[in-house]
């Protein structure tokens, strides 16, 4: 996105912050039912509990519901000040401009929700020209002028018209002139022209997003004559015929799904039919960049009802378009994997509601908590494909999940790495679950022991858990949660989380291991500093050079410290000397 700064003479620089194929539906592997979740008694993902029934979102949304919508927009004191200033500018310069707030702000205000996402649409001038007049008026009043950010046209980022943005009363506001759009065949990039308010309303993605608030008349304008009605009925519909709307810009399919999930609204039948159309799906896969698809999916995962959104994607036959898999997978992807994946995220939602917010350890940092919740959902969604791999250009085996996150959705490489690591650590936690009942103790001990170090039997659990936590750091609870979800593996519909007893068993496994880790004082163990650094290890072992041997001793040292949490540096050195001497004696005895 290109941003140009236009600074008034005395203004200081301000930092701008504006800114696949359809499968035949098959019965899901398992369905998490509402009986598994207590009714709205606690909060998960920072939202009221909302149990999933296991019925597809399409079927669940078939019954339309009435939505409480306000008769008029109630402005806050700050909004009154901002809009008053804009009207003062219009009157002072006799601009004759109709100043309208467009889209999401109007929708949210009518639903009784606060919003600071104010987008201004102007009928007779560009956003940049109006912002310059705002600054001229500020100068007239003897006030400090503000920097103007100009966001250039960028069709690849769905920016089809230049937008100006500036700070007014501590809120960033976007300004753009009303427009009409015409789409050419085989392109999602429209020809944009200055248009009327009605033309602008009809070119928008959804009727509920086509409403205006006219600041001049202090009234809501429903120029499609459907926006208010659809909002009250809880319907997601397009102002123009859905199929042509989606063929013009297929990204609108995902936006429709996102808003339907966010507000628990119902997709209209013609919209569902259009979204499921093979031509629309083909266009979504070919005309829309993977970055834009990934951005929409990430917004769904971070929103209020991500499971609803994933169910819509599955039921509309969009799963393999949105989550494109690499070729030549081992084992190959099946037609049933869309059902399997979405069923697992449903189950994760129910299990997480049952456990509560302790799954996340973001502390007081909301961003950290939100990140853990988001990556937990991705990890759950891709549980059924976690063992699939493909060969990259360097003939290296790469997890399919990594490809989906990096290439299909174009999310951060660190997101892909974290999700893959969560899946790997979840398998290791399965061993720790068995240790809770002293099963598999000797097998795990043999893996941890070597010729220089023997782990005391009563320390095996602490060492294993500590090593896992040092790998996962703050995400260890997420990995443990995924482990509880998949171990034991669900093999068929009868072994599902559809029963309260099954859910409670997995919940208790999670809580049992979490308690053990807390009792063993391991939370935060990834901050444990080795008693000896590489140079000190060389000194104790009387080595003249380093190399891979030092790395092995450093790993061994971490295990020793985990097994001896109160061990001192001197005790550690003594263990190293004795271990080395004992190993030498054994080698001499073997050779003789």
Determine the average pLDDT of the residues in 503-520.
92
pLDDT > 70? residue 490:
no
Question: Residue 358: what pLDDT?
Answer: 74
User: In the predicted model, what is the mean pLDDT of residues 205-217?
Assistant: 97
Tokens found for residue 7: 């600074």
The per-residue pLDDT for range 36-53, each reduced to its tens digit, is 333 333 344 444 444 444
Q: What pLDDT is recorded for position 448?
A: 92
pLDDT tens track for 432-450: 888 877 778 888 999 999 8
Tokens 């401009």, residue located: 97
43-44/47-48 β-pairing: antiparallel
Contact 131, 164 (CB under 8 A): yes
Q: Is the pLDDT at 366 greater than 70, yes or no?
A: no
Burial (Cβ within 10 Å: 0-12, 13-18, ≥19) of residue 368: middle
Residue 189: per-residue pLDDT: 59
Q: DSSP readout, 361-409?
A: --TT-HHHHHHHHHHHHHHHHTGGGTT-EEE-TTS-EEEHHHHIIIIIS
pLDDT exceeding 90 applies to what percent of the chain?
A: 69
Summarised one tens digit per residue, pLDDT across range 285-335 is 999 999 999 999 999 999 999 999 999 999 999 999 999 999 999 999 999
pLDDT score recorded for residue 191: 62
**What is the pLDDT averaged over residues 209-228?**
97
How high is the pLDDT of residue 589? 60
Q: Which of 182, 227, 183 is nearest to 201 (CA)?
A: 227
- pLDDT band for 587, please (50, 70, 90 cuts): low
Q: What is the C-alpha separation between 272 and 259, in angstroms, rounded?
A: 14
Is the C-alpha dihedral spanning 521, 374, 103, 259 positive or negative? negative
Judged by average pLDDT, the poorest of 64-68, 86-90, 184-188, 553-557 is: 184-188
Which has more confidence, 501 or 146?
Answer: 146
521's tokens: 């004082």
pLDDT at 525: 96
Which segment of 53-62, 252-261, 518-527 scores lowest on mean pLDDT? 53-62
Q: Residue 235 in 3-state DSSP?
A: strand
* Distance of alpha carbon 521 from alpha carbon 422, whole angstroms: 21
The answer to whether 307 and 52 are in contact (CB under 8 A) is yes
DSSP assignment string, 295-327 = HHHHHHHTSS-HHHHHHHHHHTT-HHHHSPPPS
Q: Phi and psi (nearest 5°) for 34?
A: -65, -20
What pLDDT, in 10s, does the model give residues 140-157? Answer: 999 999 999 997 654 444
DSSP for 493-550?
A: GGGSS-SHHHHHHHHHHHHHHHHHHHHTT-TTGGGPPPSS-HHHHHHHHT-S--SHHH
Q: Give me the pLDDT at residue 581, please.
A: 85
Query: Is residue 6 very low, low, confident or very high in pLDDT (cuts 50, 70, 90)?
Result: very low
**For the chain, what is the mean pLDDT?**
85
Measured over the CA atoms of residue 324, residue 329, residue 330 and residue 331, the dihedral's sign is positive
Would you say residue 131 has pLDDT above 50? yes
Q: Inform me whether the pLDDT recorded for 408 exceeds 80.
A: yes
Model confidence pLDDT, tens digit, residues 59-115: 444 456 788 999 999 999 999 999 999 999 999 999 999 999 998 999 999 999 999
Listed in sequence order, the residues at least 6 apart from 246 whose beta carbon sits closer than 8 Å to its beta carbon are 238, 252, 253, 274, 275, 277, 280, 283, 284
Looking at residue 222, what is its pLDDT? 97
- Would you call 563 helix, strand, or coil by DSSP? helix
- Least reliable range by pLDDT among 256-260, 401-405, 574-578: 574-578
């Amino acid at each position: 996105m290109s941003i140009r700064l236009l600074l008034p003479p005395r203004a200081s620089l301000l930092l701008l912050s504006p800114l696949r194929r359809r499968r035949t539906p098959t019965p899901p592997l398992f369905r998490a039912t509402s009986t598994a979740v207590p009714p709205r008694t606690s909060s998960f993902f920072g939202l009221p509990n909302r149990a999933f029934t296991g019925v597809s979102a399409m079927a669940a949304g078939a019954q339309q519901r009435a939505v409480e919508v306000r008769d008029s927009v109630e402005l806050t004191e700050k909004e009154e000040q901002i809009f008053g200033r804009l009207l003062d500018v219009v009157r002072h310069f006799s601009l004759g401009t109709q100043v309208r707030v467009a889209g999401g702000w109007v929708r949210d205000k009518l639903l009784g929700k606060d919003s600071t996402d104010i987008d201004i649409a102007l009928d007779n001038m560009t956003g940049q020209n109006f912002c310059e007049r705002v600054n001229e008026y500020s100068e007239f009043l003897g006030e400090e002028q503000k920097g103007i950010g100009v966001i250039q046209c960028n069709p690849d980022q769905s920016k089809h018209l230049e937008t100006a943005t500036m700070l007014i009363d501590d809120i960033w506001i976007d300004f753009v002139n009303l427009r009409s759009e015409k789409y050419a065949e085989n392109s999602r990039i429209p020809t944009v022209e200055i248009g009327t308010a009605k033309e602008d309303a009809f070119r928008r993605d959804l009727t509920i997003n086509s409403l205006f608030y006219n600041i001049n008349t202090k009234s809501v304008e429903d120029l499609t004559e459907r926006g208010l009605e659809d909002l009250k009925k809880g319907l997601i519909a397009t102002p123009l015929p859905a199929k042509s709307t989606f063929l013009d810009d297929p990204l609108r399919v995902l936006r429709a799904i996102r808003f339907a999930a966010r507000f628990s609204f119902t997709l209209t039948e013609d919209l569902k039919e259009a979204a499921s159309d093979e031509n629309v799906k083909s266009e979504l896969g070919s005309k829309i960049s993977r970055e834009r698809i990934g951005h929409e999916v990430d917004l769904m995962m971070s929103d209020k009802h991500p499971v609803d959104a994933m169910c819509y994607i599955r039921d509309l036959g969009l799963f393999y378009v949105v989550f494109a898999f690499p070729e030549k997978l081992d084992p190959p992807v099946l037609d049933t994997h869309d059902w399997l994946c979405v069923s697992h995220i449903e189950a994760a939602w129910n299990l997480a509601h049952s456990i509560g917010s302790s799954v996340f350890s973001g502390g007081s940092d909301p961003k950290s908590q939100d990140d853990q919740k988001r990556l937990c959902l991705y990890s759950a969604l891709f549980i059924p494909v976690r063992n699939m791999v493909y060969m990259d250009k360097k003939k290296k085996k790469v997890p399919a999940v990594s490809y989906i996150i990096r290439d299909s959705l174009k999310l951060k490489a660190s997101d892909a790495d974290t999700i893959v690591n969560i899946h790997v650590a979840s398998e290791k936690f399965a061993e720790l679950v068995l240790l809770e009942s002293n099963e598999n103790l000797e097998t795990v001990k043999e893996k941890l022991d070597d010729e220089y170090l023997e782990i005391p039997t009563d320390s095996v659990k602490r060492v294993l858990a500590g090593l896992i936590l040092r790998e996962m750091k703050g995400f260890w609870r997420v990995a443990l949660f995924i482990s509880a979800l998949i171990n034991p593996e669900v093999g068929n519909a009868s072994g599902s989380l559809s029963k309260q007893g099954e859910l409670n068993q997995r919940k208790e496994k999670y809580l049992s291991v979490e308690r053990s880790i807390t009792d063993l004082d391991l939370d935060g163990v990834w901050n444990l500093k080795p008693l000896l650094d590489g140079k000190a290890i060389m000194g104790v072992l009387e080595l003249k050079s380093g190399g891979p041997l030092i790395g092995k001793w450093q790993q061994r040292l971490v295990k020793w410290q985990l097994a001896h949490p109160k061990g001192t540096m001197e005790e550690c050195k003594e263990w190293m000397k004795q271990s080395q001497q004992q190993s030498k004696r054994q080698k001499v005895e073997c050779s003789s």
